[in-house]
Chains A and B, each alone.
Chain A
Amino acid sequence: MSVLVFLEQHEHALSLGSLGVLTKAAALDPDVAAVLVGNDELEPFAREAGRYGAATVFTVVDAFPSPLPGPRIDAVVELVRRFPNFDTILFSNSVLAADVAAGLAARLEAGINWDLVDLEFRDGQPVGKQPMLQESQVADVGWRSPQRIALFRAGSCAADPSAPEREPTVESLTVAFAEHTLAARVIERTLRADEGPSLGDADVIVAGGIGVGSKEGFEIAEQLAAALGGAVGATRAAVYKGWYPASAQIGQTGKTVSPKLYVALGISGAVQHKVGMQNSKTIVAINKDPHAPIFEFSDVAVVGDVHTVVPELIDLLRKHAG
């Protein structure tokens, strides 16, 4: 068994999600390798990956101004052709990683399991944990193909930069890109303004639902998020009312997150929302309705009005921060 982790990098930073999967992989395979494709100077990122446990990092320069899946599929195909011992290839879900993983599955005729929240080895064989049927069940999934591809749910593995001090071996690889890979290109990219951590990378998320009451009501969610150093999310219902942007929507038709702390304000906990956040490590829910379904999967269930409890909590946090 030999594990390869796909590292994702945007605008001079490795994604926390892919470093989380690398941390997980290093615990399973001390000789874990990682692959990084980009047009940057890649060596510093390869060294950084060493702190998360990578023993070897393969770098491929693609000379495309912005990341597209094609060059990454070509790179991993080439890597696996040269080093056929890589039999388990891990990804952290993102727009880019999902496209790479699925394209790679077709190229290698390799089984792909996605939306995994964990992976373990049983009798030397990898077994993935895949929540299903709106999170009511968890399936153990396996592979039959010689190469196995696993796409982890974003944020399901914590990134830990405290791997034993060791310099990873960095190997740069030259890859000939396929004709159809060269047939797509990014002609413009606008980065989203950076206002605190993004939902996918945040350790703390404060999310608002209908119980927040109004667009203005989201200000307390923003203040609480600021006091906790987190990001703001919203339910589909709140987004549909125009109280918060769709990019912040958490749930089945929005983002799936699993921060260390999830604070749900005035959220009933409909299945639609639950599937996007129930893997958060700690869930604190504040809701007036003692029968709100969210209390069934919260660690702290607060029956109360967000408009009185949250401002008091913000005061306490600010005093604590000095």
Chain B
Amino acid sequence: MKIAVCVKHVPTGTLRMRPDSGTLDRSGPGELNATDKNAIEEALRLKESGDAEVVLVTMGPAAATESLRTGLGMGADRALLVDDEAVAGSDLVATSLVLGRVLEREAPDLVLFGQQTADGGGAVLWAAVAERLQLPFVSQATQLSLDDGLVRVERETEVGNDTIEAKLPAVVAVSDAINEPRYTSLKGMMGAKKKPLDTLTASDLGIAADTLGVAGSQTVVLGVGAPPARTGAVTIEDDGAAAQAIFDYLLERDLV
């Protein structure tokens, strides 16, 4: 059994834009995206209850190695980084092409993603990757189990709770409610340094550089500005008449 976990190195703290390209500035410090830890934790639990190799996959600058080491420290077996100047600023479609190609080579039985990314990018990436691989996919998993060539997922949506079964190989995006990720021990971190971490380029994957990055992306940021401010705000200090004032305001605007 092989489980691939797609992870992302996200900027720490306040997010900024790169003025030249309208893409996120990723030059500052970063960390492993929080929900990706839930995905790694789930892979490790499956490994512990059966036998599995857990492979981390990411695309990003060399600094993303730090996030991969964090995941290896948690207990993943090895990691792959697609590090190529050509991929910087790739949109969802271009990113899914790269990850899809890596996963095709790895041919895992199960691919896991973390549901949200802290930087807002690629929040729906798993579906695009799954369609490239022509695999069934399930999102929003709050429970996951494997059984005889199937993955069974419990999840919560806007309308209720689903139990979904998909044939392996499959892609599952997990929510942060699925588990409590373990902390990386000092011993784990020491061991992580010795685990294999391989770097690939776009050409290693047989992908033409011009289909990637800002130039190869199918979406474009045309401009960035300040949001329209709220005007005409009213301040009410409660001197005993605040409830009446709110009521009058709502009534006047047809909100009651």
Interface residues of A (CB under 8 A from B): 10-11, 66, 68-70, 73, 94-96, 98-107, 109-115, 127, 131-145, 151, 178-181, 183-192, 198, 200, 204, 228, 246-247, 253, 260-261, 282-284, 286, 290, 295, 297-305, 308-310, 312-313, 315-317, 320
- Contacts A112-B93, A183-B166, A309-B243: A301 and B235 contacting too (C-beta < 8 A)? yes
A138's partner among B96, B130, B167, B226 (CB-CB below 8 A) is B226
Complex CA distance for A200 and B158, rounded to whole angstroms: 8
Residues 202 to 256 of chain B near chain A (Cβ within 8 Å): 217-227, 230, 232-238, 242-247, 249-251, 253, 255-256
B16 within 8 A of A: yes
Q: Nearest Cβ in chain B — how far from A177, in angstroms?
A: 11
Contact B129 A106 (CB under 8 A): yes
Quick check: which of B40-48, B63-71, B119-127, B183-191 contacts chain A, the rest being far away?
B119-127
List A contacts of B156 (CB < 8 A).
Answer: 247
Q: Is the interface of B mostly helix, strand, loop or mixed?
A: mixed
List B contacts of A112 (CB < 8 A).
Answer: 91-93, 124, 128, 218-219
A181's partner among B136, B219, B233 (CB-CB below 8 A) is B136
The total of Cβ contacts below 8 Å across the A-B interface reads 244
List A contacts of B50 (CB < 8 A).
Answer: none
Quick check: which of B1-9, B75-83, B137-145 contacts chain A, the rest being far away?
B137-145
Q: How many residues of chain B are within 8 Å of chain A by beta carbon?
A: 76
Closest A residue to B225 by CB, please name it: A138
Contact A186 B162 (CB under 8 A): yes
Closest A residue to B164 by CB, please name it: A186
Complex CA distance for A184 and B219, rounded to whole angstroms: 30
A111's partner among B217, B224, B246 (CB-CB below 8 A) is B217
Closest A residue to B161 by CB, please name it: A190
Closest A residue to B241 by CB, please name it: A312
Contact B238 A302 (CB under 8 A): yes
Contact A102 B92 (CB under 8 A): yes
Known: A70-B136, A98-B127, A143-B220. 8 other contacts (CB 8 A): A98-B123, A98-B139, A99-B137, A111-B218, A112-B91, A139-B221, A141-B220, A300-B233
List B contacts of A104 (CB < 8 A).
Answer: 131
List B contacts of A127 (CB < 8 A).
Answer: 222
Complex CA distance for A300 and B139, rounded to whole angstroms: 38
Give a binary string over B135-172; 1 marks a CB under 8 Å from any A CB, 0 the rest.
11111100000000000100111111111111100100
For this complex, 24 residue pairs linking A to B, each with C-beta atoms less than 8 Å apart, are A95-B140, A102-B126, A102-B127, A105-B92, A106-B100, A110-B218, A112-B218, A136-B226, A138-B224, A139-B22, A142-B219, A142-B220, A180-B135, A184-B165, A187-B165, A190-B160, A192-B159, A282-B255, A300-B249, A302-B238, A303-B237, A312-B242, A313-B243, A320-B256
Contact B230 A303 (CB under 8 A): no
Closest A residue to B246 by CB, please name it: A313
Give a binary string over B23-36; 1 marks a CB under 8 Å from any A CB, 0 the rest.
00000000000000
Q: Which of A105, A186, A190, A286 has the most CB of B within 10 A?
A: A105
